[in-house]
A and B are shown apart, each in its own frame.
Chain A
Amino acid sequence: MIADTLAARRDLLERSKTVAMIGASANQLRPSYTVFSYLRTMTPFEVTPINPTLKEIDGVKAFPSLAAYAQERGAPDIVDVFRKPSEVLEVVREAIAAGAKCVWFQYGIINEEAIRTADEAGLAVVVDRCIKVEWARLSGGLSTSGLNSGLITSRRKAL
């Protein structure tokens, strides 16, 4: 299922607890670090770096592969992908093998074969979106920065 509506992404984020982040960086200037740090400090997600070159980021243990993660922690709810489009088909195959429920391709990562493979294997797929921005859109973060969340509601949000 391609989660290409706001409601679909909200449902996906609400039912997910764990995020395995492929290509998470310890370099504070990289977008993947920004997203990792935001998910770790500001959201209820349990986020884990998947990066064979790192032992940990900010005290969170890193795993060398999705297979290694799944062996110890079980299937991740979301596999968040920060990799070149040419490398993501392999990531999708690993995500399927690890039993992931969703593959989330960050901004600019568009590989039609990888999208189709994940979709046909029954995973939820998000394409060309940032998990940080979508969480911030739904939780009110974008609105605090004068950014257009696209949300209209007269319901009072629970605290």
Chain B
Amino acid sequence: MQDRQFGFSTRAIHAGTPPDPVTGSRVTPIYQTAAFVFGSTEQAAELFQLRSYGHIYSRISNPTVAAFEERMASLEGGLGAIAFSSGLAAQLGVVLTLAQAGDHIVSSQNVYGGTVTQFSITVKRMGIETSFVPVDDFEAIRAAIRPNTKMLFAETIGNPSGALADVDRLAQIAHEAGIPLVVDNTFASPALYRPIEHGADVVVHSATKFISGHGTVIGGVAIESGAFPWHNGKFPLLSQPSPGYHNKVFTETFGEYAFLMRGRAEVLRDVGSQLSPMDAWLLLIGLETLDIRMKAHVENARKIAGFLLGRPEVEWVNAPAMGSIFTFGLRGGREAGRRFIDSLELWSHLANVGDTKSLVIHPASTTHSQLTDEEMEKAGVGAGMVRLSVGLEDADDLIWDLERALRAACPQPLEVSRA
């Protein structure tokens, strides 16, 4: 055994997956089983009392899923991780580990629409309120934190705005208030940015995106740093006897593992939003190439953004400061957007990001189609706004396709420029 700090790609390929001790299988097997046989009644009791480590039932833990969790914890620099059935399930799992009815969350307003809906409707119906504030308005964030606030939430790279979170600053504000900073790192992935290194306490992902990398899986994961003082008096769910687990006090029995133990043994157990072994296996394979994929995504995105900046049909380009997902504005509004999408051959028109395949969506004709032009402007979604997730095809082929579609979408500006 070597006390070596292995590099990112080595851990992306190896962490959590030593050879299978039973068969020698080098690839971690898909442990497709609902339950696990106990060694003895005494060992079963130890497992149920959370005094031992091992698998009971795949709703709580599973060897293939655990391998994925450990690999994610390693890549994000965390103490451990809990996988969930989706990114939104992971996010809800974090909320339910920390908060209950009567509590409060402060969230960046520059976040995924599904997160806004989850916090402002579903989580609110559970009695937990959320205040949304601009991610870069530190005074407003400070002012929004109340005595019953349990977490500050932000996305590393806002979807779809591209707004970058100043994680160091947000962590400082959260910690001054005695609360954790929870960061959604989906658009960056740990290959480009590791929030825990900048003071974040919990990191969540939609693993569906770059972690899978190939558009094969719906999955999510929450990683915890192990550095937050959960016994500071603000988190009774972790520091008071829990009726959900034999009156255990998680901070006392598990120390730095309190958050991860309660998140799994109570929240995941009771909510039942676990990741399947097959999906975990696909995510493990995806992670092996994360670093080289992200480098290639970023390189292709740079070329595509450069091409768009030089086109007369393009009104503006919100080129990415980090990552490979960005938006641009077409001249000609909603109609031009429709024609553009309908003219693409290679880019896939769908509602996802972070795939080897290049993806495109026109919010005005899809996700926001029920809104008027005025309502969309208010929501920060222009009628001509197009979101791209740049994949790993040859950049020349992607540019060829975009150029054809731009010509079809906007004949007008070209005629004007000729005149």
Contacts and interface: CB of A to CB of B under 8 A. Distances in A.
B3 interface: yes
A107 B66 contact: no
A146 B226 CA distance: 13
Contacts, number: 126
Contacts of A151: 1, 18
Interface residues of A, number: 38
B415 interface: no
Contact of B21 (A31, A141, A159): A159
Nearest to A106: B255
B229 to A, nearest CB: 12
A141 B3 CA distance: 19
A149 interface: yes
B83 interface: yes
A66 B141 CA distance: 55
Interface stretch (A3-11, A44-52, A78-86): A3-11
B277 to A, nearest CB: 13
Contacts of B69: 146-147
Nearest to A145: B53
Nearest to A133: B257
A109 to B, nearest CB: 12
Nearest to B260: A147
29 contacts: A5-B3, A7-B3, A29-B247, A34-B253, A38-B51, A42-B46, A136-B53, A141-B53, A142-B70, A144-B63, A145-B53, A145-B66, A145-B260, A146-B65, A146-B66, A146-B82, A147-B260, A148-B80, A148-B81, A152-B4, A152-B10, A152-B15, A152-B18, A153-B1, A154-B26, A155-B18, A157-B18, A159-B21, A159-B22
Interface in B31-72: 42-43, 46, 49-55, 61, 63, 65-67, 69-70
Contacts of A143: 16, 66-67, 70
Contacts of B260: 145-147
A13 to B, nearest CB: 12
Given A145-B264, A149-B70, 17 more contacts: A7-B1, A28-B246, A29-B247, A31-B255, A34-B50, A34-B253, A37-B51, A41-B52, A108-B255, A146-B73, A146-B80, A146-B83, A146-B264, A148-B80, A152-B18, A154-B19, A156-B24
A148 B74 contact: yes
Interface of A: 5-7, 10, 28-31, 34, 37-38, 41-42, 107-108, 130, 133, 136, 140-159
Interface string B8-19: 001100111011
Q: Report which residue of B14, B16, B18 has the largest number of chain A beta carbons within 10 angstroms of its beta carbon.
A: B18
A142 B152 CA distance: 29
B200 to A, nearest CB: 16
A115 to B, nearest CB: 20
A143 B67 CA distance: 7
B80 A41 contact: no
A140 B256 CA distance: 19
B338 interface: no
A128 B92 CA distance: 33
Nearest to A4: B3
A154 B18 contact: yes
A118 B19 CA distance: 39
B3 A34 contact: no
Contacts of B65: 146
A41 B46 contact: yes
Contact of B49 (A28, A31, A108, A140): A28
B285 interface: no
Nearest 6 A-B pairs (CB), nearest first? A146-B69, A141-B53, A147-B80, A148-B73, A156-B19, A157-B21
Contacts of B3: 5-7
Contacts of A145: 53, 61, 66, 80, 260, 264
Nearest to B14: A152
Contacts of A130: 255
B307 interface: no
A150 B5 CA distance: 9
B2 interface: yes
A147 B46 contact: no
B309 interface: no
Contacts of A146: 61, 65-66, 69-70, 73, 80-83, 260, 264
A5 B3 CA distance: 7
Contacts of A5: 3
